[in-house]
Structure 1
Amino acid sequence: MVVQLNGEDHVLDLEKAARAKGGRLPFANTMIAFIDEGRRALDFGYEIAEWAKREPNPGWFTRLDAVQWMIPVEPGTFLCAGRNFGRHRDESLRFWTKQGVNSVHFEFPTGFIQLPHTLVPHGATVACPEGVKEFDYEVEVAAVIGKKIERVSEKNALDAVFGYTVFNDLSAREWQRKEMQNQMILVGKNFPGFGPVGPYILTADEVPDPSALTLDLKVNGETRQHESCSDMIFSFPQLISFWSRVGLAPGDLIASGTPEGVAMHRKPDPFAFYLKPGDMVHASVEQIGVLETRIA
């Protein structure tokens, strides 16, 4: 849990602080268990944080610059929306029509599976896969599911969200293009390290309207993407409701899709914008934070 101490953000070790206070965690010491406990875990965390701030001890506080970052949660399922921002849909359809892919519909959300073992934390270095020349970025916001759901209504979908985090959907476009010619996509999105996620989870009680969040992505300080989630075609309630047909569990992730500005649709030369070794990528979502990834 991140708390402010003397005007600076620190990470609080809840387990250490709870023991120092004379108690213990009322749940297993994992993020999935914390999420599954829902409001009870949050209230416990807030209580311990307030106590710890009154009795600061370096044993349970760590400065952010000394933290070894991990992915914020280990999802069992990670579902990613495709072509889900209006302007990105338009630029994408123009491209794929030229490739002979014309059978596209928007009757319901479609997307792909991000394999959980591809996820890497804030500050990670991701290697460009051997032979890949079209290495692309996609800033997204991912909803963290907070409870077990199946066939939840759109009206109640956001009640199942624990919080939100930042996701950079790295992509090997030449692989993706070949796969999509066969109406499939897997490898082009799932090379090792292709899922930077984090650094934090912002709890849902601090995000009354996820459609108001703003996404931004910079490469070496240059803005490549900047858009509001209000441009989403299918909102988070719609995505969660539709995909809950397959069943979702605490810690699962649902990604928003990305706005316009990806390298593959840049003109006149996309290759001037694809990621290269040495590049520094900053993907951010308003209120949540900045996810930093170095390309090797």
Structure 2
Amino acid sequence: MKIGRYRGEDGAERLGLVLDKGGAVKVLDLVAAAQAHGKARDFARTMDAFMDGGRAMLDAGYAASEWAQREGDSKWLADEASVPWMTPLNVRNCIAGGRNFAAHRAETLEYWTKQGAKLHSEIPMGFVKLASVMVPTRSTIHRPEGCEWFDYEVEATAVLGKKALNVDEEGALDAIFGYTVLNDVSAREMQRKEMQNQSILLGKNYPGFGPLGPWIVTSDEVPDPSVLEVRLTVNGEERQHAYCKDMIFSIPQLVAHWSKTGLDRGDLVTVGSPEGVAIGRPDPMAFYLKSGDVVRAEVVQCGVLETFIA
């Protein structure tokens, strides 16, 4: 299922199930449907509780959805474009992958080597995206003062649904609740200075630098995450397009590796971005994000994360 969080009229979190109704995308108020279906007592009212409910809660969600589509009230459905989405979950931590697509690694190799980076693929490369910078789909984000090298990076993202400590690849897959989309927005001037100092933090973590969503596709619909397809467009022009089968480290390998930190429900592990970022272009200034740009980052099996640049 495709499930996300949105803000109800009372300001409280609601759970929305995304449905394709003959080409029109609708969002079902899943809690209202479950209440009418007679399952309200045990049904989760938040994404945290839904993830904690495991397979039983997922099955209850499917049952409520199927019943609502047969016998439900039309007032439980809304046009997707009118839904005030929140980030799809309360993010606990986000470990972001880097240089995990060979073509992207190659396009930036010369530049980052000049900054003192010594690149290898013995273990995954990663850094932290702060939970505080995460914003939902259709958010407007601002370039930091003095930033001209304002870059985009679409990333498929694994959402952890339970604890994972020192797990193998099979255990890693079992711990994944689902997948969503992150646009790893970057201030490259600051990142360049940090890389020279052998760090990455601020260049990836100005306010709003973590567009996330629009919702989660649950892992039962993606038994093999290597099939995930990622795309990114700016003002309708395709800039990035790749498949997760092209990664150096697979999603199970990434989660297993980072499980050494002690992952838990609400953690995100991103896979890194494919080739096509602005900094990897021969003429990067023509590709960096500018005021008025509309960025659409997509995991095809999940949905499109839209961001406006101010």
Q: TM-score per shorter chain, which class?
A: over 0.9
Counterpart residue number, 1:257: 272
Counterpart residue number, 2:71: 55
Letter in 1 for 2:300: E
Q: How big is the shift at 1:16? A: 1.6
Counterpart residue number, 2:121: 106
Q: How big is the shift at 1:51? A: 1.4
Letter in 1 for 2:275: E
Please give the alpha-carbon distance, in whole angstroms, between the structure 1 residues aligned to 2:110 and 2:213: 32
Q: How big is the shift at 1:4? A: 4.0
- The 1:194/1:87 distance shift into structure 2, 3 A limit, reads same
Counterpart residue number, 1:273: 287
Counterpart residue number, 1:12: 28
Runs of 5+ consecutive residues of structure 1 not aligned to the other structure? none
> What is the TM-score when the length of structure 2 is the normalising length?
0.91
Where 1:260 maps in the other structure, the secondary structure is coil
Counterpart residue number, 2:10: none
Please give the alpha-carbon distance, in whole angstroms, between the structure 2 residues aligned to 1:62 and 1:221: 26
Please give the alpha-carbon distance, in whole angstroms, between the structure 1 residues aligned to 2:26 and 2:161: 24
Please give the alpha-carbon distance, in whole angstroms, between the structure 1 residues aligned to 2:114 and 2:193: 14
- The 1:88/1:48 distance shift into structure 2, 3 A limit, reads same
Query: 2:242 matched to 1:227?
Result: yes
Q: How big is the shift at 1:106? A: 1.8
Please give the alpha-carbon distance, in whole angstroms, between the structure 1 residues aligned to 2:217 and 2:269: 15
Counterpart residue number, 2:168: 153
Counterpart residue number, 2:297: 283
Where 2:75 maps in the other structure, the secondary structure is coil
Asked whether the 8 Å contact 1:135–1:170 carries over to 2, the reply is: yes
Please give the alpha-carbon distance, in whole angstroms, between the structure 2 residues aligned to 1:53 and 1:221: 34
Q: How big is the shift at 1:190? A: 0.5
Query: 2:99 matched to 1:83?
Result: yes
Please give the alpha-carbon distance, in whole angstroms, between the structure 2 residues aligned to 1:35 and 1:197: 18
Query: 2:307 matched to 1:293?
Result: yes
Shifted more, 57-66 versus 42-51: the winner is 57-66
- The 1:295/1:25 distance shift into structure 2, 3 A limit, reads farther
Please give the alpha-carbon distance, in whole angstroms, between the structure 1 residues aligned to 2:178 and 2:247: 18
Please give the alpha-carbon distance, in whole angstroms, between the structure 2 residues aligned to 1:222 and 1:5: 28
- The 1:115/1:44 distance shift into structure 2, 3 A limit, reads same
- The 1:176/1:66 distance shift into structure 2, 3 A limit, reads same
Please give the alpha-carbon distance, in whole angstroms, between the structure 2 residues aligned to 1:254 and 1:51: 34
Shifted more, 277-286 versus 18-27: the winner is 18-27
Please give the alpha-carbon distance, in whole angstroms, between the structure 2 residues aligned to 1:256 and 1:106: 14
Q: How big is the shift at 1:198? A: 0.9
Please give the alpha-carbon distance, in whole angstroms, between the structure 2 residues aligned to 1:98 and 1:251: 36
Counterpart residue number, 1:121: 136
Q: How big is the shift at 1:7? A: 5.5
Asked whether the 8 Å contact 1:176–1:188 carries over to 2, the reply is: yes
Deviations 1:126-177 (A, max 9, x none): 1111111100000110001121110001232111111111111000000001
Q: How big is the shift at 1:89? A: 0.9
**RMSD (Å), alpha carbons:** 1.5
Counterpart residue number, 1:139: 154
Counterpart residue number, 1:171: 186
Letter in 1 for 2:121: F
Letter in 1 for 2:268: L
Query: 2:46 matched to 1:30?
Result: yes
Runs of 5+ consecutive residues of structure 2 not aligned to the other structure? 1-16
Where 1:104 maps in the other structure, the secondary structure is coil
Please give the alpha-carbon distance, in whole angstroms, between the structure 1 residues aligned to 2:45 and 2:104: 40
Match of 1:72 among 55, 75, 88: 88
Please give the alpha-carbon distance, in whole angstroms, between the structure 2 residues aligned to 1:87 and 1:182: 25
Asked whether the 8 Å contact 1:18–1:25 carries over to 2, the reply is: no
Where 1:233 maps in the other structure, the secondary structure is coil
Q: How big is the shift at 1:9? A: 2.7
Asked whether the 8 Å contact 2:164–2:171 carries over to 1, the reply is: no
- The 1:25/1:182 distance shift into structure 2, 3 A limit, reads farther
Please give the alpha-carbon distance, in whole angstroms, between the structure 1 residues aligned to 2:193 and 2:200: 9
